[in-house]
Amino acid sequence: MAKTHVKMHVNGSEVEGLVEPRTLLIHFIREQLNLTGAHIGCDTSHCGACTLDIDGKSVKSCTMFAVQAEGAKITTIEGMANADGTLHALQEGFKQMHGLQCGFCTPGMILRAHRLLQENPKPTEEEIRFGIAGNLCRCTGYQNIVKSIQYAAAKINGVPFQEAAE
Amino acid sequence: MIPGQFAYHRPRTLAEATTLLSEFKSDARVIAGGQSLIPMMKLRLAQPGHLVDLQTVPELKLVLVDGDVHGAVRRDTLSIGAMVTQAEVIKNADWAKSLPILREAALQIADPQVRSLGTIGGNAANGDPGNDMPAVLMCLDASYHLLGPAGGRMVKAREFYFGAYATALADGEILTAVKIPTPPAGHGWAYEKLKRKIGDYATAAAAVIMTVKGGKVESCSIALTNLSDRPLLASAAAAAVLGTSLDKAALASAVAAARGIMYPANDTRGTLEYRVAVGGTMVERALKSAFARAKG
């Protein structure tokens, strides 16, 4: 099968490559662009470890072909840090609140939480849990992931973070 | 899991898309959000030679409202373009008021990422008995606009599904829009879905649309998801509550009638007997909820 030329914007840079039409976006991102932050967990669109931000939407990149993303603007975990190299509020939140143990789900969690906070800057705990329902974590039991996102929301909104009483 | 080889096409108009489908016939599939088709292709359960991507066909994003006057009552028919995503359904503030069952059902489909790409047209056309929109659209008595090489035709949702992945959609046809007669203001609605976890297909689900007048059920329709090899319209169950105040006896007779038409698969979601049992429970909950929400 002839390869197709694709061009897209990833983390602010224009990138291009040759792909088979059947190449999944996650494979293009990881294997051709060498951006290996996004992970392939289940490969069946359940776990969310491959979540990327594509044209302002959270997308599971194992369930999209690279050719479908022609012309798209994509953010991966490699593009999340602030321009000065400091951690994004979400990355800082996950570090401060111990929002990860093995870390495999973390890039997908952060990308999904990033879009969630764009859509809903002050989510309740319930809204956070519903908003990350497409991302599985097998270590934390989600408690600290929820806190990490609350931490980031507070920081982005410029208000002090108050941990809920347990 | 890597899908089989295919050629990729990205038409810019509906005419281009139908031309491609006419050219490649049964070797072509359209891809809408891809959230059902791509997993099927990865499992090689679907191996189209040509994939026609509808994302850049602007006609399929159109939303239109047609006014229609029945006697003194104006009833609008809402036409939703097939490529409108579940996330867009959820965000639409007008539909949340006029057609709240759509939002209630869309919120129970898959997860946020899947809803950001998955479309109402794809969900309607796919033909998997686990899809949620078919029962909702049957309950609303929606129709689908199907466009093929010979032109367009309308098919009622209630007449569209023949079995698992068997629908009225012919080779070369595209489902372009779903047309929904909006229920009267003050109607009651519910979509009750039992699932093992968020993101799962229904173990059993029931949709209800109802109007109530003077405390009695004036009109009612009920449809069921994943309780047979196709979505089911539970007409006898709906008839059993008409004119009642949804008392215990009416509920019991509706639930029994609904259970009578269920024939779910024995699968990882439960045995046939279990799924029929909880299917009845979903009907009961949806009826009670719709009744409580209806004004009149």
Q: For B1, which residue in chain A has the nearest alpha carbon?
A: A43
Residues of chain A contacting residue B41, judged by C-beta atoms under 8 Å apart = 22
How many beta-carbon contacts under 8 Å exist across A and B?
80
Domains with residue ranges and CATH for chain B: 7-57 (3.30.43.10), 59-181 (3.30.465.10), 188-293 (3.30.390.50)
Full-model pTM: 0.96
Contacts of residue B68, defined as CB under 8 A and 6 or more positions apart, other chains included, come to B74, B75, B76, B77, B181
**Pair (A96, A51) in one structural domain:** no
Q: Is residue A28 part of a domain?
A: yes
DSSP-assigned states of every residue in A45-110:
SSS-TTEEEETTEEEEGGGSBGGGGTT-EEE-GGG-S-TTSPPPHHHHHHHHTT--SS-SSHHHHH
Q: For B110, which residue in chain A has the nearest alpha carbon?
A: A134
Q: How many domains does chain A have?
A: 2
DSSP letter (8 states) at residue B122? H
Q: Is residue A134 part of a domain?
A: yes
Two tokens, residue A125 = 């705990």
Q: Pick the residue of B111, B198, B200 with the most A CBs within 10 A to test the interface with A by mutation.
A: B111
Q: Is residue A135 part of a domain?
A: yes
Q: Pick the residue of A5, A20, A44, A45 with the most B CBs within 10 A to test the interface with B by mutation.
A: A45
Q: What range does the domain containing A134 cover?
A: 89-157
The secondary element (H helix, E strand) that includes residue A156 is helix A143-157
For the stretch B225-268, pLDDT in tens is 999 999 999 999 999 999 999 999 999 999 999 999 999 999 99
pLDDT for res A166? 59
Name which of B87, B110, B113 is nearest A51 (Cβ-Cβ). B113
What percent of chain B lies above the pLDDT cut of 70?
98
8 Å CB contact between B134 and B161: yes
Residues of chain A contacting residue B33, judged by C-beta atoms under 8 Å apart = none
Q: Report ipTM for this prediction.
A: 0.96
End of a domain among A79, A110, A142?
A79
What is the average pLDDT value for chain B, to the nearest integer?
96
At A43, is the pLDDT very low, low, confident or very high (cuts 50, 70, 90)? very high
**Pair (A94, A67) in one structural domain:** no
- For B151, phi and psi rounded to 5 degrees? 120, -170
Q: Is residue A125 part of a domain?
A: yes
CATH of the domain at A93: 1.10.150.120
- For B78, phi and psi rounded to 5 degrees? -95, 130
Range 54-83 of B in CB contact (< 8 A) with A: 55
End of a domain among A52, A79, A106?
A79
**Pair (A117, A51) in one structural domain:** no
**Pair (A67, A41) in one structural domain:** yes
Name which residue leads in pLDDT, B198 or B167: B167
8 Å CB contact between A1 and A20: yes
**Pair (A66, A94) in one structural domain:** no
**Pair (A11, A60) in one structural domain:** yes
CB spacing of B112 vs A70 below 8 angstroms: no
Å between B147 CA and nearest CA of chain A: 23
pLDDT for res B67? 75
For the stretch B93-123, pLDDT in tens is 999 999 999 999 999 999 999 999 999 999 9
pLDDT for res B70? 65
B4 close contact with A: CB closer than 8 A: yes
CB-neighbour burial class of residue B292 (10 A; exposed 0-12, middle 13-18, buried 19+): exposed
For the stretch B130-140, pLDDT in tens is 999 999 999 99
Q: Assign residue B76 a region: left if phi > 0, alpha if psi is -120 to 50, beta otherwise? A: beta
Report the C-alpha gap between A128 and B133 in whole angstroms. 25
Report the C-alpha gap between A84 and B284 in whole angstroms. 58
- The count of C-alpha atoms lying within 13 angstroms of the C-alpha of B212, restricted to the half-sphere facing its C-beta, is 22
Is the predicted pLDDT of residue A164 greater than 80, yes or no? no
Q: For B10, which residue in chain A has the nearest alpha carbon?
A: A68
Is the predicted pLDDT of residue B220 greater than 70, yes or no? yes
For the stretch B27-78, pLDDT in tens is 999 999 999 999 999 999 999 999 999 999 999 999 999 876 666 666 789 9
Residues of chain B contacting residue A46, judged by C-beta atoms under 8 Å apart = 199
pLDDT for res B24? 95
Q: Is residue A27 part of a domain?
A: yes
Q: Is residue A165 part of a domain?
A: no
CB-neighbour burial class of residue A83 (10 A; exposed 0-12, middle 13-18, buried 19+): exposed
CB spacing of A58 vs B113 below 8 angstroms: yes
Cα B201 versus chain centre, distance? 13
The average pLDDT across B140-166 equals 97
pLDDT for res A108? 98
**Helix ranges, chain B (H):** 14-24, 37-42, 86-91, 93-98, 100-106, 112-117, 120-126, 133-139, 235-241, 248-261, 272-293
8 Å CB contact between A103 and A142: no
End of a domain among A25, A55, A79?
A79
B268 close contact with A: CB closer than 8 A: no
8 Å CB contact between B277 and B262: no
Å between B269 CA and nearest CA of chain A: 17
What is the average pLDDT value for chain A, to the nearest integer?
96
Residues of chain A contacting residue B42, judged by C-beta atoms under 8 Å apart = 43-44
DSSP letter (8 states) at residue A141? T
At A59, is the pLDDT very low, low, confident or very high (cuts 50, 70, 90)? very high
Q: Is residue A139 part of a domain?
A: yes
Residues of chain B contacting residue A20, judged by C-beta atoms under 8 Å apart = 5
Adjacent-strand bridge partners of A16 = A7
Is the predicted pLDDT of residue B202 greater than 80, yes or no? yes
**Pair (A116, A65) in one structural domain:** no
**Pair (A54, A103) in one structural domain:** no
At B296, is the pLDDT very low, low, confident or very high (cuts 50, 70, 90)? confident
Adjacent-strand bridge partners of B189 = B209
CB atoms within 10 A of CB A78: 16
Q: Is residue A166 part of a domain?
A: no
8 Å CB contact between A106 and A39: no
pLDDT for res B124? 98
pLDDT for res B72? 64
For the stretch A66-102, pLDDT in tens is 999 999 999 999 999 999 999 999 999 999 999 999 9
pLDDT for res A131? 98
